[in-house]
Amino acid sequence: MDFLYITLGVVVAVLIFAAISYFRIKKSVTTLTQEQFIEGYRKAQLIDVREAKDFANGHILGARNIPQTQLNQRYKEIRADKPVYIYDQNGVRSGRVALFLKKKGYDQLYQLQGGFKQWSGKVKIK
């Protein structure tokens, strides 16, 4: 019986943590449909946060690759005074990247809904 209560407590704690993370990310970044993303990304900094091998296999035309794993060392390459359009493979990492950038003082943060796998626009293969 104690095991059941412990398991239930862990599940509840994980759900609470996930909900808090979801709302913190939602507050930090604006999620855009592909059409909305296309309207604005040419006047902004377009950042692909996937790993270099994924970027080389295909990325949105005009994107710079700053992998999430390198962000702590490279975030200063991104200007804080201009809009930042972020995408990843499926929309999960970009939210975490936006939360990190928000903490560093970036305000104009936008992510592509569904990530690169949903992208049907122009693509460049390295």
Cβ atoms of residues 84 and 108 within 8 Å:
yes
> What is the predicted pLDDT for the residue at 20?
66
Cβ atoms of residues 51 and 58 within 8 Å:
no
> What is the predicted pLDDT for the residue at 75?
97
User: Tens digits of per-residue pLDDT, 93-109?
Assistant: 999 999 999 999 999 99
CB atoms within 10 A of CB 36: 14
Classify 49 as helix, strand or coil: coil
CATH architecture of the domain with residue range 2-124: 3-Layer(aba) Sandwich (3.40)
Residue boundaries of the structural domains of the chain:
2-124
Pairing between β-strand 109-112 and β-strand 45-48 as defined by DSSP bridges: unpaired
**Does the model's pTM come out above 0.75?**
yes
Residue 94 half-sphere exposure toward CB, CA atoms < 13 A: 25
- pLDDT < 70 regions, the chain: 1, 17-27
